[in-house]
Structure 1
Amino acid sequence: MLKWALPLGLAGAAALLPAIAAPAAERAVPIPPPAQDVTGGKNQQVAVLAGGCFWGMEAVFQSVKGVHSVTSGYAGGTRSTANYSKVSTERTGHAEVVRIVYDPRKVSYGTLLRVYFSIAHDPTQLNRQGPDTGPSYRSAIFPQDDAQRRVATAYIAQLGRTKAWAKPIVTRIESGTFYPAESSHQDFFWRNPTHPYIVRWDKPKVAAFRNAFPQLAN
């Protein structure tokens, strides 16, 4: 989000999601599913992904079947700098991320990565997304175990071979502890449906997800 953006008043949430013609930058890129995936497991799993402003990322993944919860936060830096004012300086090493808790029996890690690359963000933008610039808006995956790291690394290579984007993928595989963001950033999309940033950038993104992946939308 733009650094000056402030929350507006509360309003209805899902009822205010009309069909919106997505801008070119907010349309799903047709890509294949990953050739490898994380298999097995009955307990809830966690994925941590960075792809620009966490408001839109959170809303997209909250719309995916099998996702139990999504929390906006920071990863890549230290606990002492994991707050919005310090991350906004672009000197903390943190990226804005979302922590996704999901049921692997209903949605796989690979499927979440497909949504991530196809519509949740543009993996070819280096240290920025749309109007937002700086390393806190970088494209990065924070694997939670070796299996996730293996699948994410293989999928980046696979997508690079598809030439689905005119520019190369710049997504990084990183390590770092997740720290939740301030309460004002949680569920921001749903609590602030008339916020100019949400209307311009994130409603088209959620609409594009629903149009491109109706079988995944809740």
Structure 2
Amino acid sequence: MSEACNIPGLNVPRSRFPVPEYELKESEGSAHVVLAGGCFWCVEAVFLAIDGVTRVESGYAGGAADTANYEAVCTGSTGHAEVIDVHYDPAKVGFGELLRVFFSVAHDPTQLNRQGNDVGTQYRSAVFYETEEQKALTEAYIQKLNESGVYSAPVVTSVEPLEAFYPAEAHHQNFAARNPWQPYIMAVAVPKMEKLAAAWPDRLKPEFSQDDPDLA
């Protein structure tokens, strides 16, 4: 993984990112969505801080079971993307709101098959849907983003059916919180967390609601 990542949205106010026109009607209890936005260490850190998110697991999606491991996925030849499986309570946070965080803070959705210096299809921007409702809302929101002009380039996020989610190796889970001084985390995850705290203070878990957010 590289040591730098350019995130054009970091300096764009939250108010410029459109609100989804509607929210999914989801049953009470728990729901989840699988997202790909580059290095899963950093995207995981963002979503773990969101109030209503109950669990985030890093993993792989888009390829076969026999190549769902870090060494193989890093070759960029398996079809997998590095993803996070975000479990959340729909009574506290909705699918549409999670999409808004994903597109405004978690990554740069205008970079094709890369995030910063992390290059390859394994770092692609993608939303893996399980229902037609998730697919429709995601596609509608991408269209709305493009029409808003919030980014100077088109959003290239792919909307793909979730065939399977494969959990990543144990040492990749909760990586940023366990390794806050790791150079990549400091260069890539910390700016995202700072943007999240500044733009979404009302949506953070209490332990992340501080002027100087800590990943630990």
Counterpart for residue 23 of structure 2: 37
Q: Say which of 51, 73, 90 aligns to 2:76.
A: 90
Tell me the C-alpha RMSD between the 2 structures. 1.6
CA deviations 1:118-167 (Å, max 9, x no partner) are 01000000000012000000000001211111110111111111011000
How do 1:167-182 residues align onto structure 2 when only pairs under 5 Å count? 167-175=153-161, 176-182=163-169
Quick one: distance in 1 between partners of 2:11 and 2:20? 16
CA contact (8 A) 1:70 1:98 kept: yes
Runs of 4+ in 1 over 2 A off after TM superposition: 23-26
Counterpart for residue 212 of structure 2: none
Q: Say which of 178, 189, 200 aligns to 2:176.
A: 189
Query: What is the aligned residue count?
Result: 200
Q: Cα distance, 1:207 vs. partner? A: 1.2
Quick one: distance in 2 between partners of 1:67 and 1:170? 26
- Which consecutive unaligned segments of at least 5 residues does structure 2 have? 206-216
Counterpart for residue 27 of structure 1: 10
How do 1:15-94 residues align onto structure 2 when only pairs under 5 Å count? 25=8, 27=10, 29=12, 30-94=16-80
CA deviations 1:138-197 (Å, max 9, x no partner) are 000001211111110111111111011000000000123110000010000000011000
Quick one: distance in 2 between partners of 1:24 and 1:61? 17
CA contact (8 A) 2:9 2:151 kept: no
- Which consecutive unaligned segments of at least 5 residues does structure 1 have? 6-22
How do 1:151-162 residues align onto structure 2 when only pairs under 5 Å count? 151-162=137-148
TM-score after normalising by structure 2: 0.89
Q: Cα distance, 1:40 vs. partner? A: 3.5
Q: Say which of 109, 119, 122 aligns to 1:136.
A: 122
Q: Which has the higher contact order (CA 8 A, sep 6+)?
A: 1
CA deviations 1:65-100 (Å, max 9, x no partner) are 000000000000011000000001110000000000
TM-score after normalising by structure 1: 0.88
Indicate the percent of aligned positions where both proteins have the same amino acid: 47
